[in-house]
């Protein structure tokens, strides 16, 4: 498992680098970015890995901003320069803008980091138009599975004819993901005790180092308390006011800290879909965790797991140029809700509901499908389920989650 090649991301990077000489790779800490960048570097005889977190590397850049010109080359091919965690450098945007403008015809640059490189810091000259962005997230069942649908076939009909992957292997991987997350190290170790220790260190590192470094927060104890409340909030629209009251802080402070969790990839949020939905909730977002095994309640963990699967695949589709996809949820003031709605170019294209074991179709899924007139899927965390039911002129699929999700089109060879 340690030697899994993330082939789809290697292919995606190759496509990106043919279009732009500077490519950004963002994603959670320990999702495998450094490993991926070094795999990419093996394709280049002239390559250099720079990491801002390494003191000696930091000194090299400060002393000579164009240090890469002094690297001894093996041949005349274009050098490949990796800048890891460079966004922690105060003037990183101006620095990258400068070296791109001067050297883009002579070098290829890959910029990787665990912060959101496109929104990490304010100020400085804009890098707009100088780079392409792609993301690397923890493993999902679709990335780990062999059989994929053609993208064009999937978009036309997400319900029928999805590939059935090896049942035993897929279920084994699904259970591992459910218990250990998709972060490569605990997934590879395959031990719950290791995941427990890893999680404690991982969360502490992000809150006590990354968040502290990018904010003016001096006492992070309340930040840790706020994060500890989130696993019980997954699956419902989050109330910033209630969270702020729980730990006796200002609403704005709570909102700022929640945004920091997004920035450092501890969490991500989904906005509600409101068009054509009568009395829709319009403001409250739902929050999900990348390290979802910390969620104790199985139904909420299952929903979060599906959220990560969909969130990752939508980023991949967008970065492959397949469309402009977004992930939402739907909820009205009568508390009717569908867990997920996928849109493309601001038009809804499918609804997805999650039920841990209930195979009876959700009334809310039926009602919102009748309103939006789009395909609907109910995913269950139960084996050997595959049913299609008519709903007026539409159809609703009820299926085992790992089987439907494992066939999502995601590698770069998928036809558009």
226 and 164 both lie in a single domain:
yes
Q: Over range 369-374, report the average pLDDT.
A: 95
Mean pLDDT of 286-312: 97
Query: How high is the mean pLDDT of the chain?
Result: 91
Q: Are 262 and 342 found together in one domain?
A: yes
Lowest-confidence range among 10-19, 51-60, 286-295, 379-388? 10-19
Any domain includes 1:
no
Domain holding 84, by residue range, is: 7-135
**Where is the domain boundary, 77, 111, 135?**
135
Residue 412, domain member (yes or no)? no
pLDDT of res. 164? 72
Total structural domains within the chain: 2
pLDDT above 50: residue 53: yes
Tell me: do 70 and 28 sit in the same domain: yes
pLDDT at 305: 98
3-state secondary structure the chain: CCCCCCHHHHHHHHHHHHHCCEEEEECCCCCCHHHHHHHHHCCCCCEEEEECCCHHHHHHHHHCCCHHHHCCCCCCCCCEEEEECHHHCCCHHHHHHHHHHHHCCCCEEEEEECCCCCCCCCCCCCCCCCCEEEECCCCCHHHHCCCCCCHHHHHHCCCCCCCCCCHHHHHHHHHHHHHHCCCHHHHHHCCHHHHHHHHHHHHHHHHHHHHHHHCCCCCCHHHHHHHHHHHHCCCCCCCHHHHHHHHCCCHHHHHHHHHHHHHCCCEEEEEECCCCCCCECCCCCEEEECCHHHCCCHHHHHHHHHHHHHHHHHHHHHHCCCCCEEEEEEEECCCCEEEEEEEECCEEEEEEEEECCCCCCCHHHHHHHHHHCCCEEEEECCCCCEEEEEECCEEEEEEEHHHHHHCCCCCCCCCC
Q: What is the mean pLDDT of residues 318-322?
A: 93
pTM of the model: 0.93
pLDDT digits (tens, 9 = 90+) for 145-170: 888 888 988 999 999 877 677 788 99
In a domain, 402, yes or no: yes
Q: What is the pLDDT of residue 15?
A: 85
Percent of the chain with pLDDT over 90: 74
Convert the pLDDT of each residue in 95-144 to its tens digit. Answer: 999 999 999 999 999 999 887 676 654 445 578 788 999 999 999 999 99
């Amino acid at each position: 498992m340690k030697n899994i090649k993330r082939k789809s991301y290697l292919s995606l990077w190759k496509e990106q680098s043919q279009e732009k000489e500077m490519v950004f790779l963002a994603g959670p800490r320990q999702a495998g970015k450094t490993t991926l960048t070094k795999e990419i570097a093996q394709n280049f005889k002239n390559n250099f890995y720079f990491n801002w977190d390494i003191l000696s590397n930091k000194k090299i850049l400060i002393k000579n901003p164009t240090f890469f010109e002094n690297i001894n080359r093996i041949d005349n091919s274009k050098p490949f320069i990796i800048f890891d965690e460079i966004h922690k450098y105060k003037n990183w945007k101006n620095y990258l803008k400068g070296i791109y403008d001067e050297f883009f015809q002579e070098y290829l640059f890959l910029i990787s980091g665990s912060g959101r490189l496109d929104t990490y810091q304010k100020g400085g000259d804009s890098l707009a138009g100088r780079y392409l962005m792609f993301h690397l997230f923890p493993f999902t069942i679709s990335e780990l599975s062999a059989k994929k649908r053609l993208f064009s076939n999937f978009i036309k009909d997400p319900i029928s004819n999805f590939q059935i992957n090896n049942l035993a292997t897929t279920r084994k991987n699904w259970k591992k993901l459910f218990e250990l997350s998709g972060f490569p190290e605990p997934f590879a170790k395959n031990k719950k005790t290791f995941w427990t220790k890893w999680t404690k260190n991982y969360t502490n590192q992000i809150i006590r180092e990354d968040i502290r470094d990018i904010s003016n927060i001096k006492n992070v104890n309340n930040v840790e308390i706020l994060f500890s409340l989130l696993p019980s909030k997954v699956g419902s629209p989050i109330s910033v006011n209630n969270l702020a009251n729980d730990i006796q802080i200002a609403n704005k402070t709570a909102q700022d800290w929640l945004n920091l969790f997004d920035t450092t990839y501890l969490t991500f949020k989904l906005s509600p879909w409101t068009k054509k939905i009568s009395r829709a909730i319009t403001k409250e977002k739902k929050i999900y965790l990348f390290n979802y095994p910390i969620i104790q309640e199985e139904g909420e963990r299952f929903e979060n797991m599906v959220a990560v699967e969909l969130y990752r695949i939508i980023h991949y589709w967008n970065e492959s140029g397949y469309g402009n996809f977004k992930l939402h949820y739907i909820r009205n003031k009568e508390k009717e809700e569908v867990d997920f709605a996928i849109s493309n170019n601001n038009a809804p294209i499918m609804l997805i509901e999650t039920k841990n074991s209930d195979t009876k179709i959700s009334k809310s899924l039926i009602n919102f499908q009748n309103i939006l007139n789009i395909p609907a899927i109910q995913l269950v965390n139960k084996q050997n389920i595959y049913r299609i039911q008519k709903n007026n002129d539409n159809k609703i699929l009820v299926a085992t989650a790992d089987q439907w999700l494992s066939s999502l089109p995601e590698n770069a060879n998928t036809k558009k």
